[in-house]
Amino acid sequence: MIEYDGKVPDSLKKMLEKHSDKIKAVDRHDSEDGYWVYFKPGFIDMESNMHYIHEWNIPSVKERLGFIEKEKEGAWGKRVKYVKLSSGCSYKSKRKSKRTTSKVSRVR
């Protein structure tokens, strides 16, 4: 069950109930601070790499709901960042290794 704090419109509540397996709480104390949607442990917004959504209006919240996914773990228990493409596919972002190798040629 999702916890609601503040004045959250019924239209938003109805939309968020479809994602009740991922969402823990919704907060809107001040109308000037927008909507805060907090996820249950293990879920993440793959676009922002955050465990919550903060948006100013309901259509923006609805758009962000499409980026909530189960958080993935890397080989050593570190979080692996995936980037979600507009096509709906996701790919593992490539990070440059700290270790660099270079070839040194000897001049004779």
Tens digit of pLDDT for each residue in 47-67?
998 999 999 999 999 999 999
User: Torsion angle, CA of 22/28/32/38, rounded to 10 degrees?
Assistant: -30
C-alpha distances out from residue 95 to 38, 70, 78, 92, 98, Å: 28, 21, 13, 9, 9
User: What gap in Å lies between CA 74 and CA 95, rounded to an integer?
Assistant: 13
What average pLDDT does the segment 59-86 reach?
74
More confident residue, 72 or 83: 72
pLDDT value of residue 101:
42
Inform me whether the pLDDT recorded for 25 exceeds 80.
yes
pTM of the model: 0.66
* Tokens encoding 64: 């962000």
Return all residues near 33 (Cβ < 8 A) that are at least 6 apart: none
Indicate the average pLDDT of the chain.
78
pLDDT at residue 96 in the model? 46
Convert 75-92 to b/e letters by CB count within 10 Å (16 or more is b): eeeeeeebeeeeeeeeee
Helix (H, G, I), strand (E, B) or coil at 10: helix
Residue 12, Ramachandran bin (φ over 0: left; ψ between -120 and 50: alpha; else beta): alpha
